[in-house]
């Protein structure tokens, strides 16, 4: 099975408007991302063909695949990771 997007973007990640106002506990109770488990139960190799950006959840989706074929324009971005690094650096530099 091959997952791919457009030349501009593999996947942009979550719809932030859908997630505004939600709380972690409620998301956990309602299995908000439960459909993502389906990719783990397919039983066949899954190839992510990435040519363009894979942002946030799109990057995570690519990492869930068995093989990633990265085109020349492939870029990966996990915003929460960068935010954590910036918070660490703020703490480090100002204390």
Report the C-alpha gap between 83 and 87 in whole angstroms: 6
Distance CA(23)–CA(27), nearest Å, equals 6
Question: Which CATH number characterizes residue 27's domain?
Answer: 3.90.226.10
User: What does the alpha-carbon distance between residue 20 and residue 58 come to, in Å, rounded to a whole number?
Assistant: 19
Q: What are 61's two structure tokens? A: 């989706």
Print the domain residue range for 83.
2-94
Whole-angstrom distance, CA of residue 31 vs CA of residue 53: 27
Report if pTM > 0.95: no
pLDDT over 60 (residue 91): no
- Our count of domains for the chain comes to 1
pLDDT digits (tens, 9 = 90+) for 7-57: 888 887 766 677 677 777 777 788 777 777 788 888 899 999 999 999 888
């Amino acid at each position: 099975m091959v997952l791919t997007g457009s030349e501009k973007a593999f996947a942009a990640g979550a719809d932030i408007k859908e997630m505004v106002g939600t709380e972690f506990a409620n998301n956990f109770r309602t299995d908000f991302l439960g459909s993502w488990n389906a990719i783990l139960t397919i039983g066949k190799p899954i190839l992510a063909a990435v040519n363009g950006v894979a942002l946030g959840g799109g990057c995570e989706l690519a990492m869930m695949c068995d093989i990633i074929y990265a085109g020349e324009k492939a870029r990966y971005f996990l915003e929460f990771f960068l935010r954590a690094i910036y918070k660490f650096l703020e703490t480090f530099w100002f204390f």
